[in-house]
Homo-oligomer: A and B are copies of this chain.
Amino acid sequence: MKMKVRRVIDLSHTIMEGMPVYPGDPIPKIVPFSNVKEKVSSLSKITLGSHTGTHIDAPRHAIESGVSVDGVSLEKLMGEAVVLDLSHVEPGEAITFSDLQQHEVKEDDIVLLFTGMGRRWGDEKFLTNYPYLSLDATEWLVKRGTKAVGVDWTSIEKYGGKEHPAHDKLLSHNIPVIESLVNLDVVKGTRIFFICLPLKLKDTDGAPARALAIEFET
């Protein structure tokens, strides 16, 4: 076992009170909690939505009988990832098949989409105004044998629709979706070792997660 870590890049948003959440989602709370018996150590009580901050959508998010987050294979959430630079796509616009096919994506790649939205995280107007994945883009990702898809904004879905075709397409193929990544600008246009570990929440539709790029010593 000679794997040595040279550098870690944290791709996760900080979870805190007052952080942006998708409209209608539970409001995050972190409250000091007293242990009456001990009073000697600090503890907190945390309330979160399953899709708060950087998080994973398990198939069950969109499909009632789909795999829950505790059943998502961890092998799908780590490994070689390619970070596509899609910074030309504006909020409200679709990322299409033709945006993606210009890039080299290999079978079993984790595909991370950088748009620059990660830096606009604190700005409320971008909670409902962000790029989205067109159906032909998701079809292309499925056909390429993509292992997982991650994005640096709130939701892969066009805001305000009553259906969720992008989620349906990916999640019905058991391709987990990672939303609200940050710091992808540091690695855009490169291949990285990526890992995203969600809380192991039983039978749940998704979970907050910690996502990283790791550079190993060669």
Contact = CB atoms under 8 A, between A and B. Distances in A.
A93 B3 CA distance: 35
Contact of A202 (B16, B79, B201): B16
Nearest to A18: B202
B43 A49 contact: yes
Interface of A: 1-5, 8, 10, 12-16, 23-26, 30, 33, 35-38, 40-51, 53-54, 60-62, 64, 70, 74-75, 78-80, 162-164, 167, 191-193, 195, 197-206, 208-210, 212, 214, 216
A161 to B, nearest CB: 9
Contact of A24 (B8, B36, B46): B36
B4 A79 contact: yes
B1 A42 contact: no
B204 A30 contact: yes
Contacts of A199: 15, 46, 199, 208, 210
A5 to B, nearest CB: 6
